[in-house]
Structures are given as structure tokens and as C-alpha cells.
Amino acid sequence: MTKLELPALDPNTVPEVRRSGYPEPYRSRMGDRAKRRLGDACGLTRFGVNRVTLGPGAESALRHWHTLADEFVYVLEGEVVLVSNDGEQVLSAGTCAGYPAGKRDAHHFVNRSNAPAVYLEIGNRIDGDNAFYPDDDLMWCENEEGTYAAHKDGRRY
């Protein structure tokens, strides 16, 4: 294939990022999760688009919902389990899910299969957006220096 030039992009040329912004013990729970930040690589600022590979056992995120950002996921390869308030559903390649901003239906993907799963995740970038985690002892707080992770009783991680 001829090398693509922006505005086009071959996702395989975008570096994989394995970081997580969560404090421990949550960071480690993400497991074998690698993201390629395709939207950033194209210069987008108003929403993010990541192509994510989840190895067996890995999780997309802690189960969460966003206050101001819509989110959308489209499964490209393999199979993931969507966990949301109403329970679990298996999503295979070619299926999708969408999470409207402000809807208190916390969600995440878990890869319970024996093969990698690949999906696109899209979310608005909106100032003041927050995320809540009903299953876990984590919340985001803000002071003059910025945002920090805290226990739900307010103690810092």
C-alpha cells in the first residue's frame, strides 16, 4: 500500500499507548489494553477516536458514565462483554454501543475470550466533563492545581 498522508492515516503507524490515568489498584485491572489515538493523530480536538486492542482478561475502563460527553464504541475484531446497569451482553465484530452524556448507565467492556478484541471508541472532549464509577472507590476532584483522584470519602490517592 502507498503510504497515506494526512488527512488520511494508516492506524498501524500510530504509536500504541498503554498508560492509564487511574490510581492503583485500578490501573492494573485494565490489563493488556493498548490504544492508538487516531483522532489526535489527525489533529482533531473536539472528540477523541481511539482504536483499542484488549487482550484476554483486559478491561476498557472502570465501569463509568460521563456527565457531558457522549461516547460510542464499534467492535472491529473479536468479542467483548458489555457490562451496564441492566447486566451483560456479548458484542461481536460489527456491533456497537452508544452512551448518551448524562445518562447514569455506567458501562465498560471486558474481554472474557481467549483472543484479542479490537474496537473504536469515540468520546466528546468537553470542558467540565466528569465521570462517575458506581462500582469502585474512585472520584475525580478539582482544585486550583487541576484534577486529582480521590477515594469517595475525599481522601487523595
Binding site for a copy of itself (CB under 8 A): 1-2, 4-11, 38-39, 41-47, 49, 69-70, 72, 74, 76, 82, 84, 86, 89-92, 94-101, 103, 105, 107, 120, 122, 124, 126
Smallest gap, in angstroms, from Cβ of residue 87 to a copy of itself? 9
Residues forming beta bridges with residue 132, ordered by sequence position: 65
For residue 5, the minimal CB distance to a copy of itself (Å) is 7
* β 96-99/117-124 pair status: unpaired
Which CB, 92 or 114, lies closer to a copy of itself? 92
φ and ψ at residue 40, rounded to 5 degrees? -55, -40
Length of the chain in residues, anyone? Answer: 157
Would you say 88 or 137 has its CB closer to a copy of itself? 88
- How far CA 1 is from CA of 4, 9, 10, 102, 154, in Å, comes to 8, 12, 10, 42, 53
CB of 62 to a copy of itself, least distance (A): 16
* Distance in Å, CB of 29 to a copy of itself, minimum: 22
Which is nearer to a copy of itself, 27 or 85 (by Cβ)? Answer: 85
The x, y and z cell numbers of residue 69, run together, are: 460527553
The cell numbers describing 33, all together, are 489494553
